[in-house]
Amino acid sequence: MFKHNKNREEVEESDYWVSFTDLMSALVIILIFAIVFLMIQRGSSAIEQKRTVAKLLADINFYQTKNSTTSSEVDLITCEADAVDSNNVFAQKLAVNVNQYSELVEERNNTVHRMSNLLQREGLAAKVSNDGTSIVIPTDQLSFKQGQYEIPDSKRPLIEAIAEILYFNLVPDQRHKVYESVEIIGHTDSAPAKGMLFQNWGLSVHRAASFWEKVREVRPYGKELSSLVNWKGEALFSISGFGATRPLINDDDRPEEQKVNRRIEIRFGVKQFSDREMSAMSPKFDNF
C-alpha cells in the first residue's frame, strides 16, 4: 500500500513538473518572437535574426534536457494549467503579427529602392538611407540658395517626376495603406542660417514645406497624394525639420561635407500595431 501511494505521488509530481516546463517553454517562445520583432524594427539582417533565434532555441533545448533529469525534490512554483494555454495563444498571435510586420517592412524596403532607381533615371541623384526606410535627395538637386528655401521654377520637371513616382507607388491598389506615415524631412549643414527664425531648425522645416508644396501643385498627382490618409484616418504625408541635429557627416567643416548634410528625406513608416491589436494578443491572468 505504501509503495503504491509513493508511486502515485511520483507520477503526480512528474506531471506537475511537465506542466511547469511547458509554461516556461511557452514564455521563452514568446521572448523569441518579441526579440525577432524588435530586431525587425531596428533593421537587423536576416542572418543576424537567424543566429539569434538559433541560439535561443539551443538554450530551450538545454533547459528542457536539464529539467527532464532534475530531482523531484526541486521546489516548484504553483501555477494554473490554463496559463500554459493562454501563453501558447499569445505566442501564436504574436508570431502571426511578427510575420505580417516583417512582410510590411520587406514591401516598404523594396518600394523605397524601386522609387530611388526610378528617380535616378529621371536625373535626380536620389539615394536610399542606410536603414532602407527613406529616399534621400541632396538639396543642391533642388537648387536651394544659401540660407533660402524657395525652389526655382527650373526644377519643376524634377518635382513632377517625383510626384508621379510617389503617386504610382502609393495610390493604385491602395498601396499607401501599408504605411503609418510618409514624412518629408528637411536637414541642414552646421553653418548657422542667418536671418531665419529658429535658424537651422526653421530653415529645414521651410525647405521641407517648400518641397511638399511644390509636389502638391503637380497635376493630377499632387491633389491625390495630399488627400491620402493612413489606416487611422490621419493625413499620410507630414513635414518636419531636424536642422543640423542629424548629420550624415558629423564634422562638416568643408563645403563638400556640408553638401552631403543638406538634404530632403522622404521617410516611409510602416503600419504599427494598434493598442487594440496588442490588447487582443496579450494573455489574460485574471485567475492569478
- Scanning 69-81, the segments in alpha helix (DSSP H) are none
- Check if the beta carbon of residue 205 is closer than 8 Å to that of residue 188: no
Interval 89-138: pLDDT, tens: 555 555 556 677 888 899 999 999 999 999 999 999 999 999 999 999 99
Which grid cell is 179?
504605411
| Sequence spans of domains, the chain | 2-79, 106-270
| pTM of the entire predicted model | 0.67
Handedness of CA 117, 122, 127, 133 (dihedral sign): negative
Task: Give the helix, strand, coil percentages of the chain, each rounded to 5.
Answer: 60, 10, 30
- Check if the beta carbon of residue 129 is closer than 8 Å to that of residue 184: no
Interval 245-282: pLDDT, tens: 999 999 888 988 888 899 999 999 998 766 565 555 45
Which grid cell is 85?
494555454
Taking the C-alpha atoms of residue 263 and residue 213, their distance in angstroms, rounded to an integer, is 16
Q: Is it the case that residue 31 has pLDDT exceeding 80?
A: no
- Check if the beta carbon of residue 199 is closer than 8 Å to that of residue 277: no
Select 106-270's CATH number: 2.40.240.20, 3.40.50.10090, 3.30.1330.60, 3.30.830.10. Answer: 3.30.1330.60
Q: Is it the case that residue 68 has pLDDT exceeding 60?
A: no
Interval 139-166: pLDDT, tens: 889 988 878 899 999 999 999 999 999 9
Residue with more model confidence, 72 or 88: 88
